[in-house]
Amino acid sequence: MKNKPNVVLIFTDNQQASTLACYGNTEVYTPNLDRLASQGVKFNNSYCPNAFCSPCRASVLTGKLPSQHGVHSWIDDRNMHEWPSGWHALNGMQTLPGLLQSDGYKTALVGKYHLGEPTSPAEGFDHWVTLEDGHVRSFYRNKIFDNGKVYEQPGHSVDFFTDKAKEFMVDQVAADNPFFLFLPYPAPYGHWPATKETDENRHTKRYADCPMDSVPRQALSKKAVDGFLMNQAGSTTDLDFSMLMRAPNDLATLRNYYSQVSMVDDGVGEIMKSLESLGIEENTLLIFTTDHGLSVGQHGFWGHGGSSFPSNLHHAAHSIPLIARQKGLVPAGSESNLMVSNMDLYSTILDHTGVAVPESTHVVPSRNLMPVLKGDTPVDWGDDAVYSEQEETRVVRTPKWAFFKRFDGPTNQGIGDELYDVENDPQETSNLSGSEDHAGVEAELNSMLTEFFRQHVRAEADLWTGGAPIQNSMRQSFWRDAWGDQWAPVYEYE
User: What's the average pLDDT block by block, 10 residues per block, for the chain (494 residues)?
Assistant: 87 96 98 98 97 96 97 91 93 95 97 96 97 92 97 98 98 97 97 92 97 89 82 64 78 96 98 98 97 92 89 94 97 95 97 88 87 83 91 97 94 90 96 96 97 95 97 93 95 90
Residue 490 DSSP symbol: B
Within a domain: residue 437?
no
SS3 9: strand
Phi, psi (deg, nearest 5) at residue 235 = -75, 135
Within a domain: residue 294?
yes
Report the residue count for the chain: 494
SS3 474: coil
Q: Residue 58: is it exposed, middle or buried by C-beta count within 10 angstroms (0-12/13-18/19+)?
A: buried
Residue span of the structural domain in which 307 resides: 6-376
Within a domain: residue 247?
yes
> How many CA within 13 A on the CB side of residue 287?
30
Instruction: Tell me how many domains the chain contains.
Output: 1
SS3 305: helix
Q: How far is it, in rounded angstroms, from Cα 432 to Cα 121? A: 47
* Ramachandran assignment for 139, one of left (phi > 0), alpha (psi -120 to 50 degrees), beta (any other): alpha
Residue 268 DSSP symbol: H
Confidence at residue 1, expressed as pLDDT on a 0 to 100 scale: 47
Confidence at residue 231, expressed as pLDDT on a 0 to 100 scale: 74
Tell me, rounded to whole angstroms, the distance of Cα 238 from its chain centroid: 24
CATH number at residue 90: 3.40.720.10
Report whether 461 contacts 444 (CB < 8 A). Answer: no
Report whether 362 contacts 64 (CB < 8 A). Answer: yes
Q: How far is it, in rounded angstroms, from Cα 253 to Cα 247? A: 7
Within a domain: residue 443?
no
Within a domain: residue 487?
no
Confidence at residue 419, expressed as pLDDT on a 0 to 100 scale: 98
Within a domain: residue 400?
no
Strands (E), 95-220: 106-110, 127-131, 142-146, 149-153, 179-188
Q: Which residues are within 8 A (CB) of 81 and not within 5 positions of it... i.e. 6 or more apart?
A: none
Q: What is the CA radius of gyration of the chain?
A: 21
Within a domain: residue 391?
no
Confidence at residue 343, expressed as pLDDT on a 0 to 100 scale: 97
* Cα→Cα distances 252→43, 138, 155, Å: 30, 16, 21
Within a domain: residue 424?
no
* Global model pTM greater than 0.85: yes
Residue 80 DSSP symbol: G
The sign of the CA dihedral 486, 361, 120, 290 is negative
* Cα→Cα distances 396→259, 436, 464, Å: 33, 20, 16
